Chain A
Amino acid sequence: MPNTSIMTFNILSILPVLILAGFGMMVLVVDVLSSRKMGEKNFLAYLSLIGVVIAAFLSKNFTGTTLFSFYGAYTIDNYSLFFQFVFLLCAGLTILISKNYVQRENINYGEYYTLILFSTIGMILMASGADLLNIFIGLEIMSISIYILVGMKRTRLTSNEASLKYFLLGAFSTGFLLYGIALVYGATGTISLRQIAVFIAGKGGVLDPLLLAGMGLIIVGIGFKIASAPFHAWVPDVYEGAPTAITAFMAVGPKAAGFAAFLRIFFIAFGQVHQDWEKIIWILAVLTMTTGNIIALIQTNIKRMLAYSSIAHAGYLLIALVAANNMSVSAILFYLLAYLFMNIGAFAIVIVISQKEDSFLKISDFSGLAYKHPRLAIAMTLFLLSMAGIPPTAGFVGKFYIFSSAIKSGYVLLAIIGVINSVIAVFYYLRVTVAMYMRGPEREFQPLTLSPFIFVAIIISIIGTIQLGIFPAKVLEIAQRSILLLR
């Protein structure tokens, strides 16, 4: 049990969240009051970026403190702060790659940035939630914002379809999650994760069927959000139909938030009954990696390919979840940060290469890129190699860490399946480099319009990918200090 003296209603603890909410609403109001044309509203991006930066500075102030505010419903510890950092970085980079994209695609509405900020709030609540309801509310705030963001391109049929699909399936999965929470509450009489753990310990680590069913339903609900197979069917269509910048955002943000909640629920509440859920997650991990990687092999659209690859990455992360040792928490944290850089970097390049109305998104459209825009091609290669887990990149250290945690707990077979999968994955990542370097151009490349915003985003991603690959020591240490306070 946490010390009761710090279990207060501490409004300061959610200051970053408040800032984000405030700036989000400010963007809306300023958007309405401004008389400029849609394409000229640069200040929307500036404003929301300022909000993210302020929130990041505020949350940095909390480092090292452990705080249970709102009577234990909201936790601040290094773990949630690490996630806050990931979410804010993700939101910031997304805003950077969005600015020119939304102008090009004519979707420069105020809501766009507001919803990004709001969904970031949802993610932060998920990572900080110390009880099931708080996590659920966070998940809803995040999801509903993203449902709308996916359909932001109102005039495009694919975008509408993606939004509807994501909404329907997402609502359905939320139902599962809520039902699971209800069952757990019915069985234990509490929604606090620590109280659930106490309850299970009181029963000698045996789950009654009600609790077991609740746990299973929670796995389904969160499994949907992190896009694990077999709950992944929505991913390719939604990722393809969504505005590309939003695809980048949702490939990282919700996934990271889902894992934040997953880890907290399963390591704290269900930590003692590891043997009851490790097998099911083991199977999920194998299914997720394999499905993602094998279907990615035959994709011709780069967004779909990256969608399936993101499914596969969720599978790798699940490996560490199965391992359930202290190493796996920091492995997941590190991997998510690495994934953030390489994924947003890759999508940023996709945005640069594609043209209005999201044309030129086929892998063959990258043919000959290396001879037209060599720097872009090198950057893209770096991100792809990192996703494939080739040293010296962030992705390699991340995979190394994840497989280490698996082997540490003795899951050798799972690690073997994992590495076989990463070999399969190499094949489709190489296809893009083959197109870029080894084939002649199949189309005229437009002269590059690299705005300073997206340029900065790409540079940050490159630095992140290389830094975490060559000098990961510092970040590894931070990740190791950010483990959950178990049990």
Chain B
Amino acid sequence: MTDRESVYDGLLGEDTSQWAFGTSFEDPLAGVDTTLPDGVDAAVLAAYCLMLGDDALIYSHRLGQWASNAPDLEDDIALSNIALDLLGQARLLLGRAAAADAGCVPVLPEGSPVPAEDALAFFRDEGAFRNVRLVEPDDVGGAGGDFAVTIARLLLFSCYRLALMERLRSSRDPVLAAVAVKAVKELTYHRDYAGRWFLTLARGTEESRRRLLAGLALVWPLHDELFGTHPVETLVAEQGVGVDPSTLAAEVDVVLEQVFSVSSIDRPAVAQVGPVAGGMGREGRHCEQMGRLLAQMQSVARAHPLGLW
């Protein structure tokens, strides 16, 4: 318990008429030195942080949809925890983007108390999001809703992101390096969780294996996009602050092969989803389901641009 009579007292702040808005969740980078290292372009670093932050934010939202919908309570909690870890990473990365280049933050009405990380999460339009498309499709409910699909997607995502964060630990940007050190610890748990479930479903019943294979076939067309290099990623790699994802493909394959091999599953050979309107996720071109996701995620915040959450 906190020192106050009710934990909610602390959430209210001074103005109780705005109780629904809670209060500012403290800047996750409060007091952190966000000075740019020498030779780093602020706009480039910010664009890169948005890419990695948006991957985490959008996937966190998707995984959060499993809350109260998972096959059992333990997995409900596990997926929600993974979503929470990713949300934490997203907050730091969006905060880092805003601190590097305030120009990337949407301008809100004068007097809006919305912090930069929230403005980035809730007030950017679809085309301004820089996440890969792998994190967008809806695995929960509807025609595509299936736990096996989520496990296939989580395996691919966590293998990719763990490899990326391992490398990012030596970023010249001390903020990104610190975020990465922590993310590696968290993603290790995520990847093990996905890997174990993958194996369990593969070796389970005929039905579980059938669903897993179908899930893998559904997810795999977005594999190559993870390892395509955007010009911003080339620049951050050159400046020593980021990672060229094409250099991760081989080591990610080693891990995936390990999982496929014990699961007696062949690496899928399916056509990859190409660019849409000349671009991929990192260029702001997204899947059809992204628009509905953003509508759900952003509508309340957008209805109250002067609200404090």
The reply to whether chain A is a binding partner of chain B is no
Using a CB–CB cutoff of 8 Å, the interface residues on chain A facing chain B are none
Using a CB–CB cutoff of 8 Å, the interface residues on chain B facing chain A are none
